[in-house]
Structure 1
Amino acid sequence: MSTMIDADAARREGFVPLGASRKGSSFRGGRAAANDTAAEIGSLGKGHFLQEQIVKGPAASLPRRKSLDERNEAKDQALYYSLRDRIPSDLAMTPGAGGQALRRVMLHGATVVFVTPGYEGKRFVFERAKDLGVRSVVIDAPGSWAERMVGERVIAKFIPLDLNRDSTSVLNDCAAAIRALGREEGFSMPAGVCTFCELSVPLVARLAETLGLPGPSSAAVDTARDKHSTRAAMKAAGLPSPSCYRVNDETDLKQAASVVGFPAVLKPLNGAASLGVKKVDSEAELQRCYADVLAEMRATVVSSGALVKKDPTAPSDPNGEDPSFLLEEYLDGPEVDVDVVMGLGEARYAKVVDNGPTAEPYFAETWGVCPSLLPAEGQASLQKLAIDSLKCCGFDCGVFHVECKLTSRGPRLIEINARMGGGQVRKTHLLASGVDLVEETLFTAVGIPCNPHVSIENTAVAYTYVTNQKSGVVDGLASAAKRVAETDKSVAYCKPLVKDGAAIVGSDDALPDWLLDVMVTDSDAKRALDHVLSVATALDVPRFVR
């Protein structure tokens, strides 16, 4: 599926106030106010650190990575709550329900710092952390929704930090705030740092290394975040990879077209949700598409951790810097997600989730089903490629959302997301396998080796996004969704992604807005998929768009 930054929870796990129609646009999202603190995507010197991750990428925007000696020294000096030293790793890796219970005991009482909480739809992360006995500390911009969770006793502390600055300044201030936390009465030095937001992953990796805390290496994270670097690492490892060419500006387009050929896909080098990802079929179309998506990204801002459309009345920055892109060959075949949990250098859990055909040319998601309906041999080849790709980038621990295609020439990687997938991902694995990816992320953050216990079998999960052909204004959809959830016992949820009264865009005009997210369970995957699609059809969404 198209990459979604975890701040994409606006689109996948809660409401986003939708903007006016944007005919021909590949953007799906809200509109920022003219006085929003987020700066333009292209504004660097005074811009938001998350925007730097889109435009420059981690290697160019964050300080150099620590050497091995520097990292070891930081570990020796760190006075943190060391969970890894309590129990030998071979015992902590004990399989089964007993091993999972042991790892939860090890985690209980740990203080974990979360850098940027994402949208309010991510609240379940912090509720699960609380259930596991974790003392959560959240670092985010002043006024964040996460601050309310202190009074609600979901998190232990909220640390306000000005994020509307360059990445290095934010990194240094995060490190200072965490060290100060260790000296604060009632707190100890945190056991780990983590994030569930895609664009914050590189900063958190460097933060962990700076503080001597566990987690995936920043070198591996940088490689995964930069799609061109990912392809280079795969080529060096002898893994199959699509033909690609880096596009720094419009002068590179002709050579890129010559190298890659058509059809091809143009996408931002450092990823920015489905923003700027588009299929092109000719050099002339590439030229037009490049100009269109560049203008689109210039008109996009980061607001509350998510990508939203910039208010047209807000001032522009004439000195902004444009992002680089990647042109790569178009891949045929079915698309899948492979969600992977790694511990001690090996994959301990990997499951394939089928994706429905994306709505081209924007690669918009449609549906998903788990377990996969692909032949066992195809699933095994996809799992192997996903795991080999993670290893060649340098990962040895963590939770990953890996996007692939099973092409006519075999499995091919689309991209690696070095964090838990957004949207339905966590719920899908909880219902289909009993594996909690939030829990496994927390284990990784504090250095507990992961070895997930699969406690559920013979349960299938299917979900779909519901869109509309015509643009208009939504009216009455929420109550209809509620009736479906209450009357159909196989429906895990049927939740609206837009509020009544919201103006929405239909597929006739551009990339359509997602109106509903529906999930069902069954003992059979094909039946689950058929049922969720029938539920979506029976809702007759056009009745609720005027």
Structure 2
Amino acid sequence: MNNKYVILVSPRDNEAQLVQEYGYKTILLRKEISFDEIFDVDVPVEMDLNNEEAVLEKCLQLADQLDIISVFTMNEYRIPLASKISEELKLQYQLPYEASLRCRNKKMARQKLNEAGVGKVQYRLVNSQSDLEAELQDIDFPLIVKPSNDSGSKNVYLCKDKVEVSTALQNIVQSKKNIVGQSIDTDILIEEFLDGPEYSIESVTVNGQTTVLGITKKLVTPYPLSIEVGHDFPANLNADEEREIRSLVEQSLAVLGVDFTVTHSEVKLTKKGPRIVEVNARPGGDEIPHLVRAVTGIDLKALAFLVTLGRGIDSLTLSSSTVPSASIRFLLANQEGKLSFDEQFQSPEIKEQKWYAKNGQVVKRTESNFDRLGYFIVYGDEQNSSSTKVTSLEKGLAISIKNPLEI
């Protein structure tokens, strides 16, 4: 192993193992480091990551002692911090800090895209009820109301009138911090409802050149909840739709200043054409990298690390075993209560299956991507697509939730 180091900023996946497999040593930055993690990395550093000044000072100290070549994270909340550290250390290949902020904050992204005339979307910013009457002039209902810088579809509301907008604002302003203790932007985003099917675009940008690696069809619950219940890869689009979506994403990433990163952009295909919902400067979550690798052979997570070294797809070892399509379906709780499912439910078609809750456990109603019950993944073949197979399997998986009053 060489003596070059990679800083890992509060990793959420297998970042440490991935970096080590490429022969680099690891520095872990995390608020609290578990006993096992201490032995999994070379330099464990426990500190408050919300204290940006202290983190930057510590990283500069480490850079005086060690040969640091990359700062890497796939943690949505920590991407701007990783970019800031990269800038402070003057690393050559980095996602620009300003671009990381635009990708993290939906308000900033919408402002930049509208200024450039790329997929314009009507929007307003409010931070109190007193702003509401004036800001809702000349904008048509229904409207989407959401925090500027939260994630996981948390506190996203479809509102049909001013009363519903007011209620949504009331709920959002009560959330002062996100799950990692960062302040929620006081500007709340109100924008036109983008009506149409939803897709995510998995891309990589190196030296300002974006390559679209594939388009995923997203299955989402009807509003007001907007929970992602499944993904199909690749999406079944006609040539014109695919071309329009690719063009929009490429233009949007350029306008936002994105570089040296893998991105996961969410798009609605409306009657006016495709429109950006949000852009994330990381690989997609919800096992989308699994689906992409199964079909294309491309490991998005490995690629996300390699671009921090200035390397692109050509440096990847592609998986030689691929399938025509892959799908994932998430399992939701339609009410609060005691969960019951068949633990023996199996099928040779299921390639991966995971439960987040145990049989007999009392679960709350699924209201965001953070409180789903589990998932399973299916591959397609030449005869049947993965979406066809997964729909059939769903019918055989019986889940019941007894209301607490019935237990």
**SS of the residue 2:228 aligns to:** coil
Aligned partner of 2:364 in structure 1 is 505
Aligned partner of 2:139 in structure 1 is 260
- Alignment of 1:338 onto 2:201: yes
Name which of 67, 70, 73 aligns with 1:195: 73
Instruction: Write out aligned runs for 1:24-39 (5 A).
Output: none
Aligned partner of 1:103 in structure 2 is none
Contact 2:146–2:172, Cα closer than 8 Å, also in 1 = no
Shift of 1:525: 9.8
Structure 1 portions without partners, runs of 5+ = 1-106, 308-319
Contact 1:460–1:525, Cα closer than 8 Å, also in 2 = no
More strand by proportion, 1 or 2?
A: 2
Residues 463-483 of structure 1 show CA distances to partners (whole Å, capped at 9, x for unaligned) of 111113332123566x34xx5
Aligned partner of 1:386 in structure 2 is 249
Residues 324-358 of structure 1 show CA distances to partners (whole Å, capped at 9, x for unaligned) of 21100000110011011111211134310001133
How has the CA–CA distance of structure 1 residues 537 and 426 changed in structure 2, closer, same or farther, with 3 Å as cutoff? same
Aligned partner of 1:474 in structure 2 is 339
Instruction: Write out aligned runs for 1:135-284 (5 A).
Output: 135-142=25-32, 144-145=33-34, 147-151=35-39, 154-163=40-49, 165-176=50-61, 178-179=62-63, 183=65, 188-213=66-91, 214-284=93-163
Higher RCO, 1 or 2 (CA under 8 Å, sep at least 6)? Answer: 1
**SS of the residue 2:68 aligns to:** coil
Distance 1:301 1:391 in 2: 28
Distance 1:125 1:500 in 2: 31
Shift of 1:221: 1.4
Contact 1:262–1:280, Cα closer than 8 Å, also in 2 = yes
How has the CA–CA distance of structure 1 residues 526 and 387 changed in structure 2, closer, same or farther, with 3 Å as cutoff? farther
How has the CA–CA distance of structure 1 residues 306 and 465 changed in structure 2, closer, same or farther, with 3 Å as cutoff? farther
Distance 1:348 1:525 in 2: 30
Residues 483-527 of structure 1 show CA distances to partners (whole Å, capped at 9, x for unaligned) of 52xxx22212110012345321236xx569411211110125973
How has the CA–CA distance of structure 1 residues 412 and 262 changed in structure 2, closer, same or farther, with 3 Å as cutoff? same
Shift of 1:270: 1.9
**Aligned letter for 1:117?**
P
Shift of 1:157: 2.8
**RMSD (Å) for aligned C-alpha atoms:** 2.7
Percent identical: 22
How has the CA–CA distance of structure 1 residues 261 and 454 changed in structure 2, closer, same or farther, with 3 Å as cutoff? farther
Aligned partner of 1:355 in structure 2 is 218
Contact 2:120–2:275, Cα closer than 8 Å, also in 1 = yes
Structure 2 portions without partners, runs of 5+ = none
Residues 109-150 of structure 1 show CA distances to partners (whole Å, capped at 9, x for unaligned) of 7421111123xxx2x3333333222322211013x34x5134
**Aligned letter for 1:385?**
L
Instruction: Write out aligned runs for 1:285-300 (5 A).
Output: 285-295=164-174, 297-298=175-176
Contact 2:201–2:212, Cα closer than 8 Å, also in 1 = no
TM-score by length of 2: 0.89
Distance 2:250 2:279 in 1: 10
**SS of the residue 1:222 aligns to:** helix
Name which of 305, 324, 329 aligns with 1:464: 329
**Aligned letter for 1:397?**
F
How has the CA–CA distance of structure 1 residues 542 and 109 changed in structure 2, closer, same or farther, with 3 Å as cutoff? farther
Deviates more, 1:523-532 or 1:451-460: 451-460
Distance 2:296 2:181 in 1: 30
**Aligned letter for 2:88?**
T
**SS of the residue 2:400 aligns to:** helix
**SS of the residue 1:260 aligns to:** coil
- Alignment of 1:421 onto 2:284: yes
Shift of 1:228: 2.6
Contact 1:246–1:326, Cα closer than 8 Å, also in 2 = yes
**Aligned letter for 2:16?**
F
**SS of the residue 1:442 aligns to:** helix
Distance 1:524 1:138 in 2: 44
Distance 1:230 1:301 in 2: 19
Say how many residue pairs are matched: 400
Contact 1:136–1:155, Cα closer than 8 Å, also in 2 = yes
Aligned partner of 1:377 in structure 2 is 240
**SS of the residue 1:356 aligns to:** strand
Aligned partner of 2:297 in structure 1 is 434
Distance 1:364 1:354 in 2: 14
- Alignment of 1:133 onto 2:11: no
Distance 2:205 2:357 in 1: 36
Distance 1:189 1:436 in 2: 26
